[in-house]
Structure 1
């Protein structure tokens, strides 16, 4: 992924710390579903992860209050060369600029909030065990940056790279779009159903498709900090999508595949819907909830 020299970065779109504590992480927002996947990989009890709020709230309250925005040092795309963390600002700026043009006044600007260890959110207190997630209660994307090295490339064996990271964040912003247009709420209302044609899987595949749509349009804006996306970048993004397929993770963790328990979709489904978003560049092609959409894709 090549960054555009001279492009300005808007650090105000980056958060730090967390929001107020509430209940458990909302499953429909992607976090709880990811917990179930991480639980399969690490052999953890997902209910213990989701119920971590009571155990960690006290330590969260005892943390010192941070003043100033640590992202203010990220002023332009060249800063990524000396401060690699600034790439997260570039991803966020590009993703939000694109969706703001697509949704207009319907789009709600939000923040990407990196954290280490744990953070308080409006969906509850989250630890690094849940990885990147979107909280629909406060409309914020939370990002444990260690996920990319420890989980994506480490445990899951993806090739990684900037484009793979951008895909993951764009996927979480895909949940933000689903929230704004109402499909996330519909999936939540259907309950925690599982399976290859379940509302939960449709929600995740829609986020994959939205991520692909952004990738297709990321370089169109002359003010975008992202100047070029190569074929290798696309390959790495697809590789990341394949790496987090339910069937692949189940095969790695248990030696078998149980489609009835899928919550994110198979590797093939995730690859197909991200590719559909990228090849069409049209968010209107991402209606995974349309009758027969998953069988036609």
Structure 2
């Protein structure tokens, strides 16, 4: 992936470990994959309902976290530049999509952290992995996750990493579109969140599809993909499917507890977004089967 061709975003900030506020990189201003997995495994071991634990984590200690640390630009690194380039591309792509629909895209910030971070969704440590917090409309990414993606999930390559960022930005798009609000309303009316057909799975698969839409449009704008890049993103989607993770963790699969979708579903919806390049192709809530 020729990511160096991408425009650098000014919306990437860095937070000191332990939950301090953000500081800007380069001069500008839900739980994620890993977090859902950890919460699910802990809930299963304790005999608890994972939805209740997720709810407690999202509520934090009573309200949005206050970020007070003064922003400043740390020394640039290749990882920082990569993240800024990918986020910059998501900004360009989604801004164009919104303009075409007569709207205006509100850009999220992406917070890089090490060890722990304080967000409007509460405190999070490195075990949580990448996540999007609708309360402050920010994406959070522990800089060590890219190593975990390569070493633990065996999904190496820059485009696999870009897919992870684009997936979390996809949640931001869902938030702007009101999808998260509608999902919460359906949950309150009794619709199941977990399960192979649950709302959580449909929401996550739509974020995968939105990541594919971004990948399609970014390639049209930048022509930055190389041989094997798409395969690396599909490998990442496969590695973090609920069925594969459950099989690794406990030796068997429980579809009724799915939260993100199977490997095949994640690959299918990312591929659909990538091949179609159209947000309208991402109606996971109205699709049967998934």
TM-score, normalisation: structure 1: 0.79
How large is the Cα RMSD of the aligned pairs? Answer: 2.9
Residues 161-211 of structure 1, C-alpha deviation per residue, up to 9 Å, x if partnerless?
A: 110000000000000111111111112233362011111100000000000
1:102 alignment partner in structure 2:
97
Following superposition, the deviation at residue 41 of structure 1 comes to 6.3
1:119 alignment partner in structure 2:
117
Decide which of 264, 270, 281 is 1:268's aligned counterpart.
Answer: 264
Conserved? CA contact 2:58–2:121, under 8 Å: no
Structure 2 unaligned blocks of 5 or more = 22-29
Residues 113-145 of structure 1, C-alpha deviation per residue, up to 9 Å, x if partnerless?
A: 111111111111111111000000111011012
Query: How is 1:236-251 mapped onto 2 (pairs within 5 angstroms)?
Result: 236-251=232-247
User: Runs of 4+ in structure 1 displaced over 3 angstroms?
Assistant: 39-54, 63-67
Structure 1 unaligned blocks of 5 or more = 21-28, 55-59, 74-81
Instruction: Answer yes or no: is 1:155 the counterpart of 2:155.
Output: no
Q: Residues of 2 paired with 1:66 and 1:44: CA distance?
A: 41
Following superposition, the deviation at residue 112 of structure 1 comes to 1.1
Query: How is 1:3-18 mapped onto 2 (pairs within 5 angstroms)?
Result: 3-4=3-4, 8-10=7-9, 12-17=10-15
2:27 alignment partner in structure 1:
none
TM-score, normalisation: structure 2: 0.81
1:93 alignment partner in structure 2:
88
Conserved? CA contact 2:238–2:266, under 8 Å: yes
Conserved? CA contact 1:40–1:250, under 8 Å: no
Q: Residues of 1 paired with 2:68 and 2:199: CA distance?
A: 40
Q: Residues of 1 paired with 2:20 and 2:175: CA distance?
A: 18
1:50 alignment partner in structure 2:
57
For residues 125 and 278 of structure 1, do their structure 2 counterparts lie closer, same or farther at Cα, with a shift above 3 Å needed?
same
For residues 100 and 51 of structure 1, do their structure 2 counterparts lie closer, same or farther at Cα, with a shift above 3 Å needed?
closer
Conserved? CA contact 1:19–1:122, under 8 Å: no
Conserved? CA contact 1:219–1:229, under 8 Å: yes
Q: Residues of 1 paired with 2:123 and 2:38: CA distance?
A: 17
- Secondary structure of 1:16's aligned partner: strand
Instruction: Answer yes or no: is 1:138 the counterpart of 2:136.
Output: yes
